[in-house]
Chain A
Amino acid sequence: MLGQAIADGVLTGAIIALGAIGVSFGLQILRFANFAHSELLTWGAYIALVVVAFAGPGTPTGPLSFGWQMMAAMAVAAVLTGLLAWVMDQLVFRRLRNQGAHPLSLVFAAFGAALVMRYVVVLIWGPGTHFYTRELQFAVEVLPGIRMLPDQIFVLALTLAVVVALHLFLTYSRTGMAMRAMAESPALAKVCGVNVEGVTRWTWILSGALAAVAGTFLGLSPQVHPEMGFSLLLSLFAAAILGGAGSLPGAVIGGLLVGLAENVSVLFVDPGYKGAMPFLLLLAVLFVRPQGLFGEKQ
Chain B
Amino acid sequence: MIGLVSYLVFFLCIVLILGVITLGLNLQWGSTGLFNAGIVGFYAIGAYTHAIVTAAPKAGMIANMGLPWIAGVVAAMAATALVAWIVGLATIRLRGDYLAVATFGIATTIQLLTHNLEPLTGGSHGFSGIPRPLFDVLGSPFAFNLFYLGLLACVVALVYWALERMVRSPWGRVLRAIREDETAAVALGKSATRFRLEAFVVGSTLMGLAGALYVSFIGFVSPFDFVPILTFQIWAMVIIGGSGNNRGALLGALVVWTIWAATGIAVTKFVPVAYAAQGGAVQVILIGLLLVLALLFRPRGLIGEAAQVSRHAEKG
A-to-B contact residues, CB < 8 Å: 27, 32-33, 35, 92, 95-96, 99, 101-105, 107-109, 111-116, 118-120, 122-123, 126-127, 233-234, 237-238, 241, 270, 272-273, 275-276, 278-280, 282-283, 286-287, 290
A275–B112 touching, CB < 8 Å: yes
Chain B contacts of A238 at CB under 8 A?
A: 101, 105
A92–B278 touching, CB < 8 Å: no
Chain A contacts of B282 at CB under 8 A?
A: 119, 123
Chain B contacts of A105 at CB under 8 A?
A: 295, 299
Q: Which of B35, B101, B108 contacts A241 (CB 8 A)?
A: B101
A224 to B116, CA, bound (A): 26
A187 to B33, CA, bound (A): 24
Q: Which A residue sits closest to B96, measured CB to CB?
A: A104
A107 to B94, CA, bound (A): 15
Interface hub of A103, A278, A279 (most chain B Cβ within 10 A): A279
By DSSP majority rule, is chain B's interface helix, strand, loop, or mixed? helix
Interface residues on B, range: 35 or more
Q: Which of A92, A272, A290 contacts B115 (CB 8 A)?
A: A272
B33–A237 touching, CB < 8 Å: no
B90–A283 touching, CB < 8 Å: yes
Chain B contacts of A280 at CB under 8 A?
A: 109
Q: Which of A101, A112, A241 contacts B288 (CB 8 A)?
A: A112
Chain A contacts of B98 at CB under 8 A?
A: 33, 241, 286
Chain B contacts of A126 at CB under 8 A?
A: 277-278
* Contact residues, B58-108 vs A (CB, 8 A): 90-91, 93-94, 96-98, 100-102, 104-106, 108
Query: What is the minimal beta-carbon distance from B83 to any residue of chain A, in angstroms?
Result: 14
Chain B contacts of A278 at CB under 8 A?
A: 105
Query: What is the minimal beta-carbon distance from A286 to any residue of chain B, in angstroms?
Result: 7
Q: Which of A112, A120, A283 contacts B102 (CB 8 A)?
A: A283
Residue B261 CB within 8 A of the other chain: no
The verdict on A115 contacting B102 (CB below 8 Å), with A108-B235, A290-B94 known, is no
Interface hub of B101, B102, B280, B281 (most chain A Cβ within 10 A): B101
15 new A-B contacts, CB < 8 A, other than A108-B291, A287-B90, are: A32-B97, A35-B100, A109-B292, A112-B292, A113-B288, A119-B282, A122-B280, A123-B285, A238-B101, A241-B98, A270-B116, A275-B108, A276-B112, A279-B109, A283-B105
Interface hub of A111, A241, A287 (most chain B Cβ within 10 A): A111
Q: Which of B97, B115, B299 contacts A107 (CB 8 A)?
A: B97
Q: Which of B97, B108, B116, B278 contacts A122 (CB 8 A)?
A: B278
A276–B292 touching, CB < 8 Å: no
A116–B288 touching, CB < 8 Å: yes
Chain A contacts of B106 at CB under 8 A?
A: 279
A273–B232 touching, CB < 8 Å: no
Chain B contacts of A234 at CB under 8 A?
A: 101, 104-105, 108
Chain A contacts of B102 at CB under 8 A?
A: 279, 282-283, 286
A41 to B287, CA, bound (A): 22
Query: What is the minimal beta-carbon distance from A130 to any residue of chain B, in angstroms?
Result: 14
Chain B contacts of A111 at CB under 8 A?
A: 37, 232, 235, 288, 291
Residue B296 CB within 8 A of the other chain: yes
Chain A contacts of B101 at CB under 8 A?
A: 33, 234, 237-238, 241, 282
* Contact residues, B261-313 vs A (CB, 8 A): 277-278, 280-282, 284-285, 287-292, 295-296, 299
A279 to B282, CA, bound (A): 31
A270 to B91, CA, bound (A): 26
A168 to B280, CA, bound (A): 45
Query: What is the minimal beta-carbon distance from B127 to any residue of chain A, in angstroms?
Result: 17
Chain B 222-252 interface 0/1 with A at a Cβ cutoff of 8 Å (1 = within):
0000000100100110010000000000000
B295–A123 touching, CB < 8 Å: no
Q: Which B residue sits closest to A271, measured CB to CB?
A: B116
A159 to B293, CA, bound (A): 37
Query: What is the minimal beta-carbon distance from B228 to any residue of chain A, in angstroms?
Result: 8
The verdict on A104 contacting B97 (CB below 8 Å), with A116-B288, A120-B285 known, is yes
A286–B108 touching, CB < 8 Å: no
A276 to B38, CA, bound (A): 14
Chain B contacts of A279 at CB under 8 A?
A: 102, 105-106, 108-109
B277–A122 touching, CB < 8 Å: yes
Query: What is the minimal beta-carbon distance from A161 to any residue of chain B, in angstroms?
Result: 29
Query: What is the minimal beta-carbon distance from A291 to any residue of chain B, in angstroms?
Result: 10
A107–B112 touching, CB < 8 Å: no
